[in-house]
Amino acid sequence: MTAVLEAPAGTEAPQAKRPRRRPAPLRVLAPVAVFVLVIAAWAASSHLLVPEASRFLLPPPEAVVAEGLLDPVARTEILTALWNTVQVALCGLAIAIVLGVLVAVVMSQARWAEFSLYPYAVVLQTIPILAVVPLFGFWFGYEFGSRVIVCVMVSLFPVVTNTLFGLKSVAPAEHDLFTLHGATRLQRLWKLQLPAALPAMISGFKISGGQAIIGSIVADFFFRQGVPGIGRMIDVYRQRLATEELLTALLLSSLVGLCLFWAFDLLAGRVDRLHGKR
């Protein structure tokens, strides 16, 4: 036994420490290897499959880096637009998280609330966002607030469903424990249901993060007015056949989504350790 703690007389030793998470090399090297392979395949396709004359349709990676990232004008243009998009997305995500958790809490407290609200949460998910974006433009204008509303709309559902699932996943015996000790509704929510729901909530936030960024881009793409974000730039580059810039914008947008996902993953790791799961 590797346990360093002394067990009280007559009990078995505490469980040995669980093995640490996978060693970092594999966690980092494996995705890097895939990245290298994809870039190689891209470069090979561009150089070998596409004729020189139409290479602008699929420029090789080095051209994308040179014209999209290293060119100061294009880089500033893309990063400025991306920053606008990210601000909208983060703001929308924050509101979606607060609102979604509140809605889920209300649903968890009363069946009638769940029954009456849940179908509309589903509607949020199924409504074609492309059709809604122009309407929001008519109603709320084309500036920051209107874009944030689009983001909230597309990122709310995962927060609501995951939080509700988490709140309801509390073991019956744990509810009995709180009943036995005369817990109030608020105590039950605050000291039992919300902490128990935390891992599921964060899973929801992970999905919502990506949705919020897509929402921000889509709103910008269709509004064609107001402060331009990366969606508008994507449209501009498309019309200009500036494929290098287009790909740069696309890749950087994905990178932002990925960073957001990682941030929540880090948070999830901390919560899991707190819950003794890792």
Partner 1 sequence: MSIDPALAFRGTSLTFANGTRALHDVDLEVRPGEFVSLVGPSGCGKSTMLRLAAGFETATDGSVEVGAGRLGYVFQEATLLPWRTVARNVELPAELAGVPKAERREAARDAIERVGLAAFAKHRPSQLSGGMRMRASIARALTMRPELFLFDEPFGALDEITRQHLNAEVGNLFARDGFAGVFVTHSVPESVFMSTRVVVLRGQPGEVAADLPVPFPFPRDPELRYTAEFAALASEVSAALRGAEQEVPA
- Binding residues for partner 1, rule: CB under 8 A, are 5-15, 171, 173-174, 176-183, 187, 191-192, 195-196, 274-277
Tokens standing for 200? 């599921």
Write down how long the chain is. Answer: 278
Considering the complex, state which of residue 89 and residue 192 has its C-beta at the smaller distance from partner 1.
192
- Least distance to partner 1 from the beta carbon of 19, Å? 14
Q: Identify the sign of the CA torsion 191, 197, 203, 204.
A: negative
- Least distance to partner 1 from the beta carbon of 180, Å? 5
Cβ count within 10 A of residue 219: 30
- Least distance to partner 1 from the beta carbon of 76, Å? 46
Considering the complex, state which of residue 47 and residue 270 has its C-beta at the smaller distance from partner 1.
270
Query: Residue 226: CB partners within 8 Å, gap ≥ 6?
Result: 141, 142, 143, 144, 146, 147, 220
- Least distance to partner 1 from the beta carbon of 104, Å? 19
Considering the complex, state which of residue 183 and residue 250 has its C-beta at the smaller distance from partner 1.
183
- Asked if 260 and 209 count as a contact pair (C-beta separation under 8 A), the reply is yes
Q: Strand, coil or helix: what is 9?
A: coil
- Residue type at 230 in one-letter notation: I
The whole-angstrom separation of Cα 13 and Cα 7 is 5
Considering the complex, state which of residue 191 and residue 240 has its C-beta at the smaller distance from partner 1.
191
- Least distance to partner 1 from the beta carbon of 176, Å? 5
Considering the complex, state which of residue 141 and residue 195 has its C-beta at the smaller distance from partner 1.
195
Considering the complex, state which of residue 53 and residue 180 has its C-beta at the smaller distance from partner 1.
180
Q: Strand, coil or helix: what is 170?
A: coil
The whole-angstrom separation of Cα 225 and Cα 106 is 37
- Least distance to partner 1 from the beta carbon of 12, Å? 5
Give CA angle at 175 (170, 176), nearest 5°: 145
- Least distance to partner 1 from the beta carbon of 203, Å? 17
What are the start-end ranges of the H helices in 224-242? Answer: 230-240
Considering the complex, state which of residue 14 and residue 31 has its C-beta at the smaller distance from partner 1.
14
